[in-house]
Amino acid sequence: MSTSSEHVRTALATLPLSFPDPAGIVFVDGVPGWPVALLHAMGSNPAGIVLVHPTPVDFADPLAMDPATIVVVDSPWASNPATGLAARAFRAVATDRSRVECRVVVEPSCDFSTALLDQLVLIRAVLGPVTKLQVQHVSDRTLYAEGLTDTSVAIDFSIVRTTATPASAALRLLTDDGSVELQIPSGDTAQPARLITVGPDGAVLAPTQYEAGHRSSLRRLRELHAAGSADGLADLRCLRADVVTTTAALGDYERSTFR
Amino acid sequence: MQSSIGVGFLGAGPVTQAIHLPTLARLGAAFTVRHVTDIDADVAAAVAGRAGAAHSTSVEALLDDPAVEVVAICSPNAFHAEQVIAACQAGKKAVLCEKPLAMSAAEAAAIAAVSAETGVPIFVGAMHSFDPGWRAAVAQWGALPRTSHTIRSSIVLPPNSRFEDVATEVLTRQPFPAPDYSDVAVLPGMTHAGVMGLAIHDLPLIRSLLPRYDDLRVIDAKFLAPFGYRILFVAGGKSIELHAVMSQTWQPDWALEVFADDQVLNVEFAPSYVHAGSAVSRLSTSESTQVFGPAEVNGYEVEWRELAAVVHGELAPPDLSTLVDDVRFALTLADASADAVRSTPSAEDAA
Ligand SMILES: NC(=O)c1ccc[n+]([C@@H]2O[C@H](COP(=O)([O-])OP(=O)(O)OC[C@H]3O[C@@H](n4cnc5c(N)ncnc54)[C@H](O)[C@@H]3O)[C@@H](O)[C@H]2O)c1
């Protein structure tokens, strides 16, 4: 089976005009220890870096590097091209009384800390950063957590491990008279996400986009490049905040159950 | 041809009118409604009139009516246990009690005792347990009760009246009193009511997947406005999430999901009242998904058909210890959830 990192590499072949010189793009696999690999990559002044599916390890040095280097974080759910439309739909109805369910199904081999980080990155893309996070329950196969975004939207996180269905993520916000729901299939194919808004007049399925999240990440890299982004490390800074929140919440939970 | 079974209703509110009378009408000659009792004489008379039955305002009058062979208890929850017991003691052929069977462990024990003594078969109108779409999945799910590790029930519903009004023409409704949120007992009470009124539909199904529940522990419970709950609990080594919201949405979404390492079951139920056929169940492995339903027959019809078969001696009665255990499980969870809500500081307290 291909790794996500290989999938992103092969996605380069689908953007031949945007990236006439694919060799200029460096891929850093988000396995533990990735900050060292990233630092190394940044040192070689590449045209762009894609950090693929990072595990939550804390890092500081890469943030001190030249901000002209563009680093894009490729994340299984947040990189889906539907998150742009989803952000508009969710933000249009979210209030400080809202609760959003964020549920993911993952492969049994996927560790909870990475799965939780992926959820935080998704919520940041759709609603805003999660500033408070509390892990409520962890078993061998299930994790429940509760969070709050910077605009006080409550989030109920759940992670379930199984091989019986493909990995997927689902976000749902129930409103007084309807709902907004986003279902994202596993990011490695172009199977589209479904964004459905329900209101008094009916249900609307947003136009589906048959583009894999990895290709969408690469397009973003290209756009940042073309725009001459002054801050190529913005993704990394957001990632760091989400890593800190994730590891702190898991650490607190471990300490509370150890006692 | 078998003789038609005479039915008496205790309580003639929306459930009798929208659920049971249309179901019995579909079942044709199998049942005849003989007597309708309600504390509201006008409701009793009007509903009885629809069915050409006798009417009264007292439980005794109904139980004394020899034409009543089977008693259907559709009164408010607080009266279920005493009416089940009275119907058993009156020597009726069977009792169908709307969910929940009882509202306390003591009531459940009293029902168990009277049933053992009288041998009167008792059905609980937990229609999802009878639903052909659910049962078909159960027949095929193999080791799922043992291997499942995570369960999720999510119920999103429009107001009941929208479904009652398309299932029949409802006479009167009890007004839903506006809750006084300044009373600290209100949210725990409403959470308890949510478990005993709404989650109760799927709790017997969930319990059938648990090896035990004496270790039940609520991790978190919240009341969700305007009416609903989110409850996380563990029991029998499994992680369980119960979620429900009733709002002004038009779109119902009633799902039960069961996860094992190598199997996932997803059941979608139709809302209550509407007679929209059975649930649709999907049983998935990494290779394939089997789909069960929709069947035209719904759980209400099956519960009445099985009751008829029991009365005619063609089927063994439901196992009462299972039904009593179901209600004990529900009460344990409802009490623990209400406690959890009670001990959660309110937003104002926390500020
Ligand atoms: N299976 C389902 O799908 C389903 C759905 C909703 C409700 N229910 C259950 O059905 C039952 C009835 O629900 P409902 O919405 O019709 O209730 P309701 O409270 O609206 O109506 C009950 C009726 O019983 C009458 N009543 C009150 N006290 C009585 C007594 N002591 N003896 C006889 N009658 C009495 C009332 O006057 C009213 O007409 C409840 O227990 C509820 O939990 C089942």
pLDDT at A188: 82
Q: Is the pLDDT of residue B351 over 90?
A: no
Residue B265 near residue B283, CB atoms below 8 Å: yes
pLDDT at A237: 97
Please tell me whether the overall predicted TM-score, pTM, comes out greater than 0.80 for this model.
Answer: yes
Residues B234 and B333 in one domain: yes
A106-123 tens-digit pLDDT: 999 999 999 999 999 999
Residues B153 and B292 in one domain: yes
CATH number at residue B90: 3.40.50.720
pLDDT at A249: 98
* Orientation of helix B186-197 relative to helix B320-342, angle to 10°: 160
Residues B174 and B51 in one domain: no
Q: Is the pLDDT of residue B242 over 70?
A: yes
Residues B37 and B137 in one domain: no
Cβ contact A174–B149 (<8 Å): no
Q: What is the mean pLDDT of residues A202-224?
A: 96
Confidence of residue B350 (pLDDT cuts 50, 70, 90): very low
Beta-bridge partner residues of A180? A173, A197
Cβ contact A163–B232 (<8 Å): no
Residues B149 and B219 in one domain: yes
Percent of chain A with pLDDT over 90: 86
Complete domains list, chain A, with CATH: 3-76+214-250 (no CATH), 82-210 (3.30.360.10)
Beta-bridge partner residues of B55? B36
Residues B222 and B108 in one domain: no
Ligand 1 atom showing the smallest separation from residue B160 Cα: 6
Residues with CB under 6 A from ligand 1: B 10-15, 19, 37-40, 43, 74-77, 79, 98-99, 125, 127, 174, 197, 272
pLDDT at A9: 83
Q: What is the mean pLDDT of residues A196-218?
A: 97
- DSSP for B213-242? -TT-EEEEEEE-SSEEEEEEEEETTEEEEE
Where does a domain end: B70, B92, B124? Answer: B124
Residues B119 and B137 in one domain: no
**Best mutation site among A134, A160, A204 for testing chain B: the one with the most B CBs within 10 Å?**
A160
Size of interface A-B (CB pairs under 8 A): 85
Ligand 1 midpoint to CA B161 (Å): 14
Q: How far is A141 from chain B (nearest CA, A)?
A: 7
Residue type, B134: W
**Best mutation site among A103, A104, A132, A137 for testing chain B: the one with the most B CBs within 10 Å?**
A137
Ligand 1 atom showing the smallest separation from residue B40 Cα: 37
pLDDT at B346: 59
Residues B135 and B282 in one domain: yes
Residue B319 lies in a domain: no
Distance CA B181, CA B185 (A): 9
Residue B51 lies in a domain: yes
User: What total of structural domains would you count in chain B?
Assistant: 2
Neighbours of B276 (CB within 10 A): 16
Residue B318 lies in a domain: no
Residue B313 lies in a domain: no
CB-closest option in A146, A165, A203 to B284: A165
Residues B82 and B114 in one domain: yes
Q: Residue B186: enclosing H or E segment and its boundaries?
A: helix B186-197
Mean pLDDT value across chain A = 95
Domain range for residue B53?
A: 5-124
Q: Is the pLDDT of residue B349 over 60?
A: no
Tokens 């078993």 label which residue?
Answer: A139
pLDDT at B348: 47
Residue B315 lies in a domain: no
Beta-carbon contacts of residue B7 (< 8 Å; ≥ 6 apart)? B24, B31, B32, B33, B34, B35, B68, B69, B70, B71, B72
Mean pLDDT value across chain B = 95
Range scoring the smallest mean pLDDT among B87-91, B163-167, B232-236: B163-167
Instruction: Kindly report each contact of residues B86-93 with a partner whose C-beta sits within 8 Å and lies 24 or more positions away, as own/partner.
Output: B86/B59, B87/B10, B87/B63, B87/B120, B88/B114, B88/B115, B88/B117, B88/B118, B88/B120, B88/B122, B89/B114, B89/B118, B90/B63, B90/B64, B91/B118, B91/B120, B92/B63, B92/B68, B92/B120, B93/B5, B93/B69, B93/B120, B93/B121, B93/B311
pLDDT at A115: 98
Ligand 1 midpoint to CA B31 (Å): 21
Q: Is the pLDDT of residue A27 over 60?
A: yes
Q: Is the pLDDT of residue B67 over 90?
A: yes
Q: Is the pLDDT of residue B253 over 50?
A: yes
**Best mutation site among A102, A152, A174, A256 for testing chain B: the one with the most B CBs within 10 Å?**
A174
Neighbours of B262 (CB within 10 A): 17
Q: Which residues of A make CB contacts under 8 Å with B? A: 97, 99, 101, 105, 108, 136-137, 139-142, 144, 146, 156, 158, 160-165, 174-179, 198, 200, 203
Residue B260 near residue B251, CB atoms below 8 Å: no
Residues B75 and B162 in one domain: no
Q: Is the pLDDT of residue A127 over 80?
A: yes
Residues B161 and B297 in one domain: yes
Where does a domain end: B62, B89, B124? Answer: B124
A64-79 tens-digit pLDDT: 999 999 999 999 999 9
Q: Is the pLDDT of residue A3 over 80?
A: no
Residues B234 and B270 in one domain: yes
- Residue nearest atom 27 of ligand 1, based on CA coordinates: B75
State the distance between the two ends of chain A, measured CA to CA, in whole angstroms.
Answer: 41
Distance CA B120, CA B87 (A): 9
Q: Is the pLDDT of residue A88 over 80?
A: yes
Residue B198 lies in a domain: yes
Cβ contact B220–A165 (<8 Å): no
Distance CA B106, CA B99 (A): 17
Closest Cα to residue B77, out of B51, B61, B98, B92? B98
CATH number at residue B258: 3.30.360.10
Where does a domain end: B97, B124, B151? Answer: B124
Q: Is the pLDDT of residue B220 over 60?
A: yes
pLDDT at A1: 43
What the block records as the tokens of B215 is 């270790």
CB-closest option in B220, B232, B247 to A174: B247
Residue B188 lies in a domain: yes
Tokens 């762009």 label which residue?
Answer: A48
Cβ contact B241–A144 (<8 Å): yes
Q: Is the pLDDT of residue B241 over 90?
A: yes
Q: Is the pLDDT of residue A133 over 60?
A: yes
Cβ contact A139–B239 (<8 Å): yes
